[in-house]
Structure formats: structure tokens, C-alpha cells
């Protein structure tokens, strides 16, 4: 690993960076792990603003590494923020995310890639200040992907075990279509649905648009978002912006 790569990691950790629940820059993930003995590093921010206020994470660090063939270790170190409308704002370290992505089936001409990516949200954030859940959460998704020339289609379904007062276990389903102009330049759009995660919330269906633009060798800027374009009536603004490095 070069000095430049080490510096980026150190800077990200000092910034106490953050949490991503899917395949950056989208919420829907893919089943393909980082190749063996290769790694990915993301420095990013993501958040959502609605009628109740603004919350999210950032700056943030996500680190992925291919520990075995078809097996990826994953960790996210979060700095979280919560800015309620008319209330007291807080910022601090959030819940740490740890997981392993494993590809069960490799793609052929007629068979898609199939993988699992179990995650655990470790309750390291202060739940009383809106910076964490207060109890460990577990995510159990299955993802599939099929490539058609420059087009890629991937998606799947996952179940969140979400303990805590007034919380509910919930489900996420997503489908994404992406066009690759090159390995580092692409655009995509996803449609997803999540069921209610608390007793006083409702389910939500939405659309995100985003992509990647190369800025230097092995570096890309990732982005996605929507401006209240949910298929349901949930009014909000959501975003993801990040710097991606592969090595």
C-alpha cells in the first residue's frame, strides 16, 4: 500500500467517518465482492431532510477488502448528525457497521451472480441524541446481478432485525439498472421499497438516480439523490456524495 493510500485511510479515520447501508452510491447493492487481496475505500456523506429535520452521516469512511476468493470484509466508521426541526442538534460517533459479502454463484450466460451480505450495526452511537439505534441491528439480504453488454441489472431483498422501543423489523427491496460508459464512468437509476421501521412510520417507495465520474487514476466521485421523487407521498430530499478509491 502506498503512502498516499495510507494517508487517505488515516484522514478518513480522523474524520470519524460513516455509515452506508448498501452499494454506494445507491441503496440497492450487488452480489460481487471485492477481488481477493484488493480493497476499496470510500470517504463520503449521506443524509436525508424531511419535515421533521435533517439527519445522516459524514464525513464517513467505508472500507472493503477481499479476504478470500468471492469473500469481502466490510466495515463502516460513522460520524452521525441529527438536526431536528425546532429541536436541539447533535453530532458524534454513530453505530459501527460490520459485515461479510459472499458470492454463492458466479454469473454465466444464463445464470446471474447470486450473493449474500449479512451486516451488523453495532450500537456505538448515542441513541438518546439520535446518533444511534441503542440496540444491535442485523441485516440479512440476498442480491443478484446480470450483465448485458454495457448494461448491468442488479437487485434483491433484505430483512432488517430492528430491536428497540417503538421499532419494528422491516424489509428492503430494490432494483437498479446501470449503463457503463467505462469501468469508472457510469449512470444508474434504482427503484426501491422499504416497509415501516417504527410503529409510527409508514412504508415508502422511491427512486434514486446517480453514478460515478473518474477524477484520477483509481479515484472516482460517486453521487446519487432524489428531490422528493418518491412514488409515495413522502416529501424529502436525499443525497449521497463520496470519493472512491480502489487498490
> Which CATH number characterizes residue 106's domain?
2.40.160.40
Distance between CA 228 and CA 147 in Å, rounded? 30
Number of domains present in the structure of the chain:
1
Distance between CA 200 and CA 209 in Å, rounded? 28
Q: State yes or no: cis peptide before 138, omega within 30 of 0.
A: no
Q: Which domain holds residue 100?
A: 3-246
pTM of the model: 0.86
Distance between CA 4 and CA 152 in Å, rounded? 32
pLDDT for the residue numbered 229: 56
* DSSP per-residue string spanning 166-221: TB--EEEEEEEEEEESSSS-EEEEEEEEE--SBTT---EEEEEEEEEEEEETTEEE
Q: Which three cell numbers stand for residue 107?
A: 454469473
Torsion of CA 88, 128, 90, 99, to 10 degrees: -150
Instruction: For residue 34, give the DSSP letter.
Output: P
CB-CB neighbours of 146 under 10 Å: 15
Conformational region of residue 134, where left means phi above 0, alpha means psi within -120 to 50, and beta covers everything else: left
Q: Which three cell numbers stand for residue 207?
A: 427512486
pLDDT for the residue numbered 226: 86
Q: Over its length of 247 residues, how does the chain's per-residue pLDDT go in tens digits?
A: 443 443 333 333 333 333 334 589 999 999 999 999 999 999 999 999 988 899 999 999 999 999 999 999 999 999 999 999 988 999 999 999 999 999 999 999 999 999 999 999 999 999 999 899 999 999 999 999 999 999 999 999 999 999 998 999 999 999 999 999 999 999 999 999 999 999 988 888 889 999 999 999 999 999 999 866 556 667 788 999 999 999 9
pLDDT for the residue numbered 227: 65
Determine the distance from the C-alpha atom of residue 84 to the mean position of all C-alpha atoms in its chain, rounded to a whole number: 23
**DSSP-assigned beta bridge partners for residue 154:** 145, 176
Classify burial at 227, counting beta carbons within 10 Å of its beta carbon; exposed 0-12, middle 13-18, buried 19 or more. Answer: exposed
pLDDT for the residue numbered 52: 87
Instruction: For residue 149, give the DSSP letter.
Output: T
Distance between CA 124 and CA 96 in Å, rounded? 6
Quote helix, strand, coil % in the chain, to nearest 5: 5, 55, 35
pLDDT for the residue numbered 99: 98
Amino acid at each position: 500500500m502506498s503512502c498516499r493510500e495510507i494517508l487517505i485511510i488515516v484522514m478518513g479515520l480522523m474524520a470519524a467517518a460513516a455509515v452506508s447501508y448498501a452499494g454506494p452510491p445507491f441503496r440497492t447493492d450487488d452480489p460481487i465482492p471485492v477481488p481477493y487481496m484488493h480493497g476499496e475505500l470510500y470517504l463520503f456523506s449521506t443524509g436525508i431532510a424531511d419535515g421533521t429535520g435533517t439527519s445522516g452521516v459524514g464525513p464517513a469512511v467505508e472500507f472493503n477488502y477481499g479476504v478470500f476468493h468471492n469473500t469481502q470484509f466490510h466495515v463502516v466508521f460513522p460520524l452521525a448528525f441529527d438536526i431536528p426541526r425546532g429541536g436541539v442538534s447533535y453530532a458524534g460517533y454513530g453505530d459501527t457497521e460490520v459485515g461479510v459479502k459472499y458470492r454463492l454463484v458466479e454469473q454465466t450466460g444464463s445464470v446471474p451472480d447470486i450473493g449474500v451480505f449479512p451486516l451488523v450495526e453495532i450500537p456505538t452511537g448515542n441513541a438518546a441524541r439520535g446518533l444511534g439505534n441503542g440496540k444491535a441491528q442485523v441485516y440479512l439480504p440476498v442480491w443478484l446481478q446480470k450483465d448485458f453488454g454495457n448494461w448491468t441489472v442488479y437487485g434483491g431483498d433484505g430483512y432488517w432485525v430492528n430491536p428497540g422501543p417503538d421499532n419494528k423489523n422491516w424489509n428492503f427491496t430494490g432494483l437498479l439498472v446501470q449503463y457503463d460508459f467505462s469501468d469508472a464512468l457510469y449512470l444508474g437509476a434504482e427503484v426501491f421499497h422499504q416497509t415501516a421501521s417504527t410503529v409510527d412510520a409508514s412504508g415508502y417507495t422511491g427512486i434514486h438516480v446517480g453514478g460515478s465520474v473518474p477524477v484520477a487514476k483509481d479515484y472516482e466521485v460517486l453521487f446519487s439523490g432524489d428531490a422528493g421523487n418518491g412514488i409515495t407521498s413522502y416529501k424529502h430530499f436525499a443525497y449521497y456524495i463520496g470519493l472512491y478509491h480502489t487498490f
